[in-house]
Amino acid sequence: MKKIKKRQRSFFKWFMLIFCLVGSIYVAQASLSYTNIPVKAALKTDLLPGRIKVNKTAKPVVGMVNQWDITLRIEGRNQFPPPPTDVVLIIDTSGSMKDNDRMLKAKVAAEKFVNMILRKDYDNRIALITYNSEVTNYTFNESGWSGQFVDSTHKGLLIDKIKDLTPDGGTFTQAAIKSATEVIAKASGSKRDIVLISDGVPTYSYPPTEPYNQLTGMKEYTVQAGYTYYESVKTIPKGKFNYNKVYGNGGRYRYGAFAPDYEQMPANSKNRLMANHAHSAIAEASISKNEKIPNGESLVTDFYTIGVDMDSTSSDDEVVTGNQTLKEIASSEDKSFAATADNLEDILSGIAGEMVGAIKSGFVVDPMGIGFELDGEVQATQGTAVIKEVNGRPTINWNVGALKKPVSSEHDEDVMFAEIKYRVNADNNVLKSTIIDENGLAKTNGRTTLVYKDYEDVMKQVDFTVPKVKPIIVSLQKKLHNEKGEEIQSQTELFDFNYGEDEHTTNDHFSLHSNEVKKIVHPWKADQNYVVEEILKDNQNYETTIDINGLTNIGLKSSFKFAPTADAYVHQQIIVTNKKIPEKKNVVLNIRQTVLEVNSELVIPSKGFYRAYIDKNLQNLNFISGSTTKDSATEVTKELFTKYELTFSKQQKQLKITNIIPEYYKFYGYIATTTSSDLNITHLSSNTSALIKNNEAILDYQKENEYWVTMFIVPQVSNDTNGESVGSPRPYSWDYKVNKFGS
């Protein structure tokens, strides 16, 4: 019975746990659903709808020191739901839209635009108008539903119609604008926008009525061949067009204005009238933009225009006029865009971002920090980034626009982003006071700000957190010592140095006085040897030692390199010390001769005789040493060597010693060391790795003060010293002859 109750209690605990878990999930989903936020989208980001976040990072460039890639990123989550917006989308389907696949790319861009605006649970709607020589205003029908404005539920009907569009005919822009105004007047959204896509200037218009169809008030634009030409103006007001007639030939934006639609010029008149279809389109757009709804708001919230393949740098009259016409049709210049067929999709996505995104427009000011310079171009995912000098520092001015690139490819993604990337190098200005903090870090940039208009048309500002990096310093200190090794000051004598010769160090040539320090900050290649070299002048007689991070090297050159990875980079501390070379230098020679392979018929020389030369025979010397057969570890001691103390001038460096070979002997080799340690190991003929066969020992006293030398000889009884064959050794008085060195 107790076991049964125990099981019941256990079951009850598990039941309550599952109940609480299910309940918590329900509560979490309910808390999201009360704002109608899609649960899946909400779980992908910590951003609330309509909110943004900014981020800025500095990442070390792989394989480089003092070089970083900067990424500045803005993310914003679309509004949910965005303010209800009704859009009239106008697409030019004139014959020129065939060129350069404009129509094909316009349809792809328009489909993406529709999908961004008419997302599920958005209260947005889109109406479609197309135009060439005529205007088509579409009404959609499906399963008992009918309407000009399509919502998210019926957007498939709109997309299918867009896919079926084909180009043909002229360009009746004014009629399209008039029709769009009539449709937008039926809109119910809190925002009412028109988006016009065209690739050229208007070639048709409605003729104006009095007085705008007459010479009086028309604008003179040229004098040609004895005639003065006047053209219709772009300030024709509402009610002054005859919408029952169409004027133009579909070929040019200026067309001769003749009666009965325009004033008849008197006979022999030198005045000529021209109908400017572009001006009429601008006038119609002004009429549309001036319309009000009952609450006093403008009927059209924003009028966007996009000129496709209309090069803004062209000098062609029709292209220039087309661009200017679209600018004046738009509600403001920033709502007019010059597109190529290839970036039309990007521009339309930006317009959609203004309608549904967290940011309608944004502008970033990003100055370089003191001690950092730009290396290369700025790459932007959208907008334009221009570099300007502001307060003496290069500054990136990034016109961001609306966020339009999704952070993922998921179909329900509602977080958009924009970013710029660029590379910076640290330079010597980073060494200025207060730039590097107590932790060895410096800011790559000055204060970086984003000023933006949010989805409620409120201007806001946010600062980016500027990243800090660790500049690596190569520091060289000069020290000067006298002949005794005592440090001395000299503010008159300069010492010259340079580093490597790659693209980063090619200008690293400099001069220092004693106790001066030269610090250098610029890019270096990681895991590559760099040579620091002192260049002494002819009158600078010094011994040089170079200490790099505690490791000392004797001579005028030494090398350093940085670790392969950024987390292991360290400052390079270089100390170059010059010690004055004395006028005279005392050096020591310890020398002996050893006879190998003793021949019982030969007398073993009791002495060794040597000729010596200092620095290319500038001074000749004769030496005599003891001569023995001792060549084992138990026999060789310091006492076998004859010691000579020599005095070199500061110019003298080398001593060359040649063994004078006794008759019936030949030279076997020599061993020279700079230390007496382990003589019984190193100075044996069995030490073949140290044995040098050449009968000329070259001793460098520039670096060393003492040498130990063993000369080895072996019998050669088959020939005498003249090379003549002998059966056995002849008596000789070697000691006597050689002792006088041939004198």
Determine the average pLDDT of the residues in 690-708.
Answer: 93
Q: 128 and 149 share a domain?
A: yes
> CA 283, CA 177: separation in Å to the nearest integer?
10
Percentage of the chain lying above the pLDDT 90 cut: 75
User: Residue 314: which pLDDT band, with cuts at 50, 70 and 90?
Assistant: confident
Asked if 290 and 165 sit in the same domain, the reply is: yes
| H-only helix segments in 255-316 | 277-290
Alpha carbons 605 and 593: distance in angstroms, whole number = 9
Rounded CA separation 96/167 (Å):
7
Per-residue pLDDT at 441 exceeds 70: yes
DSSP reduced 3-state for 636? coil
Tokens linked to 524: 């270096």
* Cβ-contact 321, 234 below 8 angstroms: no
SS3 label, residue 589? strand
Q: Is the pLDDT of residue 690 over 80?
A: yes
Q: Alpha carbon 37 to chain centroid distance?
A: 38
Q: Are residues 335 and 416 in the same domain?
A: no
2 has a pLDDT exceeding 60: no
Report the percentage of the chain scoring pLDDT > 70.
90
pTM of the full structure: 0.69
Tell me the average pLDDT of the chain.
89
Helices and strands, counts by H and E, the chain: 10, 44
Distance between CA atoms of residues 69 and 425, nearest Å? 9
SS3 at position 393: strand
Task: Round to whole Å and give the CA distance between 519 and 501.
Answer: 18
Kindly tell me if the per-residue pLDDT of 732 is higher than 60. no
Q: For residue 75, what are the β-bridge partners?
A: 53, 417
Residues 415 and 337 in one domain: no
Sort strands 584-595 and 619-628 into parallel, antiparallel or unpaired. Answer: parallel
Mean pLDDT for the stretch of residues 402-412: 88
Contact in structure between 524 and 562 (CB atoms under 8 Å): yes
Residue 46 forms part of a structural domain: no
Model confidence at 182: pLDDT above 80: yes
DSSP 349: H
Domain that includes residue 492, residue range:
474-580
Look at residue 37 and give its three-state secondary structure.
coil
Q: How far apart are CA 673 and CA 671, in angstroms?
A: 7
Query: Residue 743 above 90 pLDDT?
Result: no
**44 inside domain:** no
Give me 419's structure tokens. 């970013």
pLDDT at 264 over 60: yes
Tokens of 508: 């690293």
CB distance 53 to 47 below 8 Å: yes
The tokens describing 476, both together, are 């060289």
Domain stop point among 338, 355, 372 = 355
672 and 695 share one domain: yes
Q: Which has the closest alpha carbon to 666: 597, 600, 607? A: 597
Q: Strands 125-131 and 85-92, how do they pair?
A: parallel
Range among 15-19, 143-147, 637-641, 728-732 rated most confident? 637-641
**Number of structural domains found in the chain:** 5
- In this prediction, residues 178-197 reach a mean pLDDT of 96
Cis status of the peptide bond prior to 605, with omega within 30 of 0: no
Residues 58 and 177 in one domain: no
Task: Kindly report, residue by residue over 130-174, the tens digit of the pLDDT.
Answer: 999 999 999 999 988 999 999 999 999 999 999 999 999 999 999
Q: In what order do the strands lie in the sheet with 135-137?
A: 135-137, 125-131, 85-92, 191-198, 302-308, 336-339
> What is the band of 649 on the pLDDT scale with cuts at 50, 70, 90?
confident
Instruction: State how far the Cα of 284 lies from the Cα of 177, in Å rounded to an integer.
Output: 7
Asked if residue 386 and residue 463 are part of one domain, the reply reads yes
Q: What is the CA radius of gyration of the chain?
A: 47
Nearest to 363 by CA among 384, 388, 345, 391: 384
**Model pLDDT, residue 166:** 95
Instruction: Say yes or no: 492 and 569 in one domain.
Output: yes
pLDDT of residue 561: 94
Give a yes or no: residue 65 inside a domain: yes
275-304 confidence digits (pLDDT tens): 999 999 999 999 999 999 999 999 999 999
The helix (H) or strand (E) run that includes residue 395 is strand 393-399
Read off the CATH number of the domain in which 439 is found. Answer: 2.60.40.2110
**Residue 193 φ/ψ, nearest 5 degrees:** -120, 150
**pLDDT above 60 for 39:** no
Of residues 236, 162, 170, 163, the one with CA closest to residue 200: 170
Longest CA pairwise span in the chain (Å) = 148
Q: Which long-range contacts (CB under 8 A, 24 or more apart) does 677-682 make?
A: 679/636, 679/637, 679/638, 679/708, 680/632, 680/633, 680/634, 680/635, 680/636, 680/637, 681/633
Calpha distance 172→174 (Å, rounded): 6
Q: Which residue is it, tokens 């050669």?
A: 716
Q: Is the pLDDT of residue 9 over 60?
A: no
Any domain includes 628: yes
How far is the C-alpha of 695 from the C-alpha of 576, rounded, in Å? 38
Average pLDDT over residues 711-730: 71
- At 59, which helix (H) or strand (E)? strand 52-60
Task: With a cut of 60, say whether residue 455 has pLDDT above it.
Answer: yes
- Work out the average pLDDT over 193-211: 96
45 falls within a domain: no
Asked which of 469, 500, 531 is the last residue of a domain, the reply is 469
Question: In sequence order, what E strands does 208-301 have?
Answer: 219-224, 227-231, 254-256, 271-276
Q: Which residue has the higher pLDDT, 463 or 603?
A: 463
- DSSP E strand stretches across 522-583: 524-525, 530-535, 542-548, 551-554, 557-560, 572-580
pLDDT at 457: 85
Per-residue pLDDT at 484:
85
- Separation of alpha carbons 430 and 521, rounded Å: 8
Structure tokens at 705: 């003060």
- What's residue 562's pLDDT? 96
> Does residue 615 sit in the same domain as residue 693?
yes
Residue with tokens 């003492």: 706
403 with 483, same domain? no
Between residues 664 and 363, which one has the greater pLDDT?
Answer: 363
Asked if 12 and 150 sit in the same domain, the reply is no
Task: Tell me: pLDDT of 5 over 50.
Answer: no
- Whether residue 197 is found in the same domain as residue 150: yes
As a whole number of angstroms, the distance between CA 11 and CA 15 comes to 6
Give the mean model confidence (pLDDT) for residues 613-637: 91
What CATH number has the domain bearing residue 155?
Answer: 3.40.50.410
Residue 100 predicted with pLDDT over 50: yes
pLDDT confidence of residue 728: 61
Integer Cα distance of 207 and 367 in angstroms: 54
- The answer for residues whose C-beta is within 8 angstroms of residue 460's C-beta and 6 or more apart is 451, 452, 453, 454
pLDDT tens digit sequence for 61-72? 999 999 999 999
Is the bond into 167 cis (omega within 30 degrees of 0)? no
Q: Is residue 242 part of a domain?
A: no
Tell me what the mean pLDDT of segment 469-484 comes to. 95
Shortest CA distance to 492 belongs to which of 530, 539, 447, 456? 539
| Residue whose C-alpha is closest to residue 711's, from 611, 582, 556, 591 | 591
- How big is the CA angle at 140 (ends 134 and 145), to the nearest 5 degrees? 155
Query: Which structure tokens are listed for 86?
Result: 């009704």
Instruction: Using the 3D structure, point to which of 554, 580, 606 is the last residue of a domain.
Output: 580
- Residue 492: CATH number of its domain: 2.60.40
Residue 727: the pLDDT is 54
In a domain, 640, yes or no: yes
Q: Which residues face 486 on adjacent strands?
A: none
pLDDT at 498 over 50: yes
Segment 574-591 shows an average pLDDT of 91
pLDDT of residue 34: 35
Whether 617 maps to a domain, the answer reads yes
Between 259-273, 435-449, 501-515, 721-735, the lowest mean confidence (pLDDT) is in 721-735
Mean pLDDT for 356-367 is 94
Classify 401 in phi/psi space as left (phi over 0), alpha (psi -120 to 50) or beta. left
